[in-house]
Structure 1
Amino acid sequence: MSEVDDLPRFPFPVDAALEPPAEWAELRSKCPVAHVKLASGDQAALITRHEDVRQILSDPRFTRPTPGDDSARVADSEDGGIFNSDMASVIPQHGEAHLVWRRGIGKWFTAKRMNALRPGIAAMAEQLIDDMVAKGTPADLKASLGFPLPVWVICDMLGVPDADRDRFSHWSDVMLSMTRFSTAEMKAAEQEFTRYMAGHVALKRANPGEDILSALITDPEPMSDATLIATGIGLLIAGHETTANMITKMVAMLLSDRSRWESLLADPSLVRTAVEESLRLDANAGIGMSRYITEDVEIAGTVLPRGTTAMCSMAAANRDEEAFARASEMDLARTPNQHLAFGAGAHACLGQPLARTELQVVLEVLLRKLPSLDLAVAVEDLRRVEGLVVGGLVELPVRW
C-alpha cells in the first residue's frame, strides 16, 4: 500500500446535511496543513485556517491549476474534472491577461447594475412563490424557487433562453462531477454545452442585444470565440449552480432553528447580515479552491514545495475561532464578517454582487410572503448533494 492510500479522503464524509465534519476543527488546531487524497487518488495539501487560506488565495504567484501543470486532479475521471478541462485552460488564469478578462466581465456586476436588477428579481421571486403556493404544501423550495430564480437571472444577463434551463442544469452537474459521472459523460456534456454556446455566440455576432455576450463581442478588445464560449459556459454554471444551492441552504439553516426565522420576521433589517452569516456558516460548500504552488512557500510553519496542489477550504476557514468569535454559532447580526465564502485575491468570485443581491431579495420576499414558512421534514432527514465539486441539498421540503 502506498503512502497516498493511507491518507484521509477529501472531502470528508458527513452524516448531517448542515453540519461540518469533525475533522475541520481538529485540523485547524493540530494540523493546519494536512496531506489528503482527492477523489482522483492524487495527493493535495488541505489548508483549513482562515489566515492561511486567505494568504494562499491572495498570493498572485499561485493560481488555479491549468492542464499544463502537474497538479492534483479533483475528479476521478481521466482528465481530472472541470478545473483541469480544456474549457478551464481557454480563460486566462494568470497576470495581466486574467485582469483584462475580469475587467471585461466585472463591468456587468457593479453595485449600480445590481440595484437596477433588484425589482425584476423580486418580481420573479414573487411569481415563483405564488406558483409554489398554488400547488400546495409540502413543496420543494429548491425546485420551486432556489433553482429557477438564479437561472432566470443569469440567462437574462447572458441573453440565452431560460426555457433551456434543464439542459444547463444537466450539463453543469456533469461538468462539476467529482465521482458521479464517467469520463465519457463529462466529455459529452462539455462538447454539447460548447456547441450550444457557440451557436449563441454566432447569433449574438449577427444580431447583438443588451446582454453580456453581445457586449463582449462588440468590445473594442474583443475576445476570441473560444474565450467567449468558455466565459458564457463558466458564467452560466457559476451563475445558477452555486446560487441555487446557496438559496436552498440559507433557508434550511434559518429554518433549522426557527428562532432565527422569527428574529428576521421581527427585524427584517437583519437580512443583509443574515445572508453574510449564512454564507460564512455554510458547512456544505463543496471542495473549496485549489491552487498550484509554483515555488516553495511556508504556511503555518510547514513548507509546501513547488508542484504542490493546495486545497483551500473556505468553509473550514469560515469557522476558525481565531478569526470569528463564537465561530460555530449563527449570529444573524454579526459584523464585521470577513468570511471567505467567495474566495479572495485575483480569483475571488466575480459574481458575488449578484449572488448577494439574489440571496437578499429572495429572503426579503420569503419573509414578507410566507412568514409561516417551516421545514416539512426533520433537519436530520435533509440530504446532501454528493459527488460534485459544489455542495448543496438534494431538495428542501417546506410547508407554511
Structure 2
Amino acid sequence: MERDDEQVLDYPIPAPSALEPPAEWERLRSRCPVARVTLPSGDEAALVTRYEDVKGVLADPRFSRRLTGEGAARIAANESGGVFNSDMAASVPDGGEGHQRWRREVGKWFTAKRMTALRPGIRDMAERLIDGMVEAGAPADLKAHLGFPLPVWVICDLLGVPESDRDRFSYWSDTLLNLTRYTEEEVSAAQEEFFAYMSAHIGRRRTDPGDDLLSALITGTAEDGGRLSDAELVGTGMGLLVAGHETTANMIGKMVAMLLSDRGRWERLLEERRLVRTAVEEALRFDANSGIGLPRFITEDTEIGGETVPAGTTVMCAMAAANRDAGAFEGADTMVLDRLPNQHIAFGSGAHSCLGQALARTELQVVLEALLDRLPGLDLAVPAAELRRVEGLAVGGLATVPVRW
C-alpha cells in the first residue's frame, strides 16, 4: 500500500468550508491509517481516522483518556496543554471500579425515563427562545438566540446553578477548551475562578441541598457505600457544565445549517416528521466539524491499523473522520435522513462514551421538532459556503448561524 510515513501534518487539518470535511481524510483512511501529526502545542501525536481503528482505540480499557502522565502530548498551545491535560480531567476516576462507580452515580440522571420527564420543559423553553428570535426579527443568529441559551438553561437547571451566570460559564468553558485562543495567564486565571465557583456552589449545596444532580451526589448514598470525593464532585460539576452546553450548543447550530444547506433535506422533514430522530443521528454522523476528537495515551505497544504503535504515544481519535468512512457507512459522504442502522461514534465508544448523550439527543430532537413546527420557512440568511467555523477551541462549531424565515 502506497503511503508517506515521513509526512507530518498540522492538526487540526484545515477544511475547505465550515460544513465540509478536509479532503485529507480520505487519503489518510486509505493510505495512512496511523498518521503523524503536530498538535497546536507543537507536540507530536498519532492520528487515526478509520472507523474500526477509532472505535477500537476508544473502547480499549488499557488506554488512558488522561494526558497527565510522563510523555503524554500537550494538546493546546499553552503551557498547561488544555482540557485533556488539566487537573479537572484527572479529578474523575479514569478506569476500574472507581470509574464504574462514578458513571453509575452520575448516570442515574441521564436515563431514558428522566429524559422523557425533561422533554416538555425543554420544548417550552425552546418555544420561548424561538418567540424571542422572531420578535428580534430576521435575519437572526440562531446560535445566539436558541442554540446557546437552550442547553445552558438545561444544564444549569440540572446542576442547580444560576442561569444568570451563563456568560461566565461560557468564558470559563472556552478557556478550558482552548487550543490557540487564550494565553496561559488567561487560562490559569479563568480556571482558578471556575474551580472556586464550583467549590463554593458544592459547599452551599451541602448545607442547603436542592433537587439537582450535585445535591443528590452530595447527600445520597452510593450503592457500593462510597460517595464521591470533593475533587470528584468539583470535577463532575465543571465537566458537565462544559460538556453539557458547549458541545450541544454548537451541534444545534451545525445540525440546522446542515439541513438548510440543502433545502430538499428541510422540505423532506416537513413532510415526514417521523424522520426527526434518524435525522438527528445522521447530523451527528455527518458532522465534519466536530472538533479535535478524543485523545488516548497508549501505555503499551499496540497494533493499530496493521502497524505497531509504541507505548508512550498519544493517539488522536478523529471520530468525525471515522464517521465518514465508506468501509463502515454506505454512501458515507451523503446525508441520508432515514439512515438505519446508524452506528456512528460521535459520542465516542466504550466505557468513556459521552455520559450525557441521551440529554444531547433529547435537546437536538426537541429543537428540530420546534423549528419545523414554528418556522417551516426557515432558511439560511447567507450561502452555506460563507458560514465560519469556531476557531481556536477543541470543540467544533459555527461562529454564527444567520437565518431568516
SS where residue 394 of structure 2 aligns?
A: coil
Once the two structures are superposed, the pairs formed by residues 1-400 of structure 1 within 5 Å of their partners are: 7-220=8-221, 221-400=226-405
* 2-structure distance, mates of 1:222, 1:204: 15
Note the C-alpha offset of 1:5. Answer: 11
Q: Distance in 2 between matches of 1:381 and 1:300?
A: 36
* AA at the equivalent of 1:206: T
Q: 1:177, 1:101 → 2: CA distance?
A: 26
Give the secondary structure class of the aligned counterpart of 2:187.
helix
**Rounded Cα–Cα distance in structure 2 between residues aligned with 1:304 and 1:274:** 37
Output the CA distance in 1 between the equivalents of 2:6 and 2:201: 45
Name whichever of 217-226 and 245-254 sits farther off.
217-226
| Structure 2 counterpart of 1:78, one-letter code | E
Question: Quick check: 2:67–2:73 contact (8 Å CA) kept in 1?
Answer: no
1:67 partner SS = coil
Show CA shifts across 1:246-301 (max 9, x none): 00000000000011000000001000000000000000000001001111111111
Alpha-carbon distance in 2 for matches of 1:163, 1:258: 36
Post-superposition Cα deviations, 1:61-81, rounded to whole Å, max 9, x if no partner, equal: 012024134211110111111
Q: Is the 8 A contact 1:75 1:177 kept in 2?
A: yes
Q: What per-residue deviation string (whole Å, max 9, x for no partner) do you get for residues 83-131 of structure 1?
A: 1111111111121111111111100000000000000000000000001
The range that moved more, 218-227 or 349-358, is: 218-227
Residue by residue over 1:373-397, the C-alpha shift from the partner in whole angstroms, topping out at 9 and shown as x without a partner, is 0000011110000110000000000
Letter of the 1:207 counterpart? D
CA contact (8 A) 1:125 1:149 kept: yes
- Report the 3-state secondary structure (helix = DSSP H, G, I; strand = E; otherwise coil) of the residue aligned with 2:36: strand
Residue 8 of structure 1 deviates from its aligned partner by 1.0
Secondary structure of 2:10's aligned partner: coil
Letter in 1 for 2:120: P
Q: Which one is further off, 305-314 or 67-76?
A: 67-76
What residue identity is the alignment partner of 2:8?
L
Distance 1:5 1:161 in 2: 51
Conserved 8 A contact 2:291-2:395: yes
Question: Please, which runs of 5 or more residues in structure 1 have no aligned partner?
Answer: none
Q: Which amino acid aligns with 1:86?
A: D
Instruction: Work out the CA distance in 2 between the residues paired with 1:307 and 1:83.
Output: 16
Which shows bigger deviation, 90-99 or 351-360? 90-99
1:303/1:364 Cα in 2 relative to 1: closer, same or farther (>3 Å)? same
Q: Tell me the CA shift for residue 6 of structure 1.
A: 6.2
CA distance in 2, matches of 1:173, 1:6: 31
Comparing 34-43 and 57-66, the one that deviates more = 57-66
Instruction: Please give the alpha-carbon distance, in whole angstroms, between the structure 2 residues aligned to 1:14 and 1:112.
Output: 40
CA distance in 2, matches of 1:144, 1:235: 22
Gaps of 5+ in 2: none
Residues 58 and 350, structure 2, Cα contact 8 Å, conserved in 1:
yes
Which secondary structure does the structure 2 equivalent of 1:8 belong to? Answer: strand
Residue 15 of structure 1 deviates from its aligned partner by 3.1
Q: Which amino acid aligns with 1:307?
A: G
Aligned amino acid, residue 269 of structure 2:
L
Q: What is the deviation of 1:350?
A: 0.2
Report if the CA contact (8 A) 2:325-2:332 is conserved: yes
Alpha-carbon deviation of 1:175? 1.0
Q: Is the 8 A contact 1:114 1:353 kept in 2?
A: yes
TM-score by length of 2: 0.97
User: How far apart, in 2, do the equivalents of 1:300 and 1:150 lie?
Assistant: 37
The size of the alignment, in residue pairs, is 397
Q: Distance in 1 between matches of 2:6 and 2:173?
A: 30
2-side partners of 1:372 and 1:338: how far apart?
A: 31
Is the 2:67–2:296 contact (alpha carbons within 8 Å) kept by the matching residues of 1?
no
2: CA distance between counterparts of 1:29 and 1:286? 22
Letter in 2 for 1:354: L
Asked whether the equivalents of residues 158 and 232 of structure 1 are also in contact (C-alpha less than 8 Å), the reply is yes
Q: 1: CA distance between counterparts of 2:212 and 2:71?
A: 37
Q: Supply the distance in 2 between the matched residues of 1:288 and 1:257 (Cα, whole angstroms).
A: 26
Q: Which amino acid aligns with 2:72?
A: S
Summarize the Cα distance change of 1:194–1:67 in structure 2 as closer, same or farther, 3 Å threshold: same
Secondary structure of the equivalent of 2:245? helix
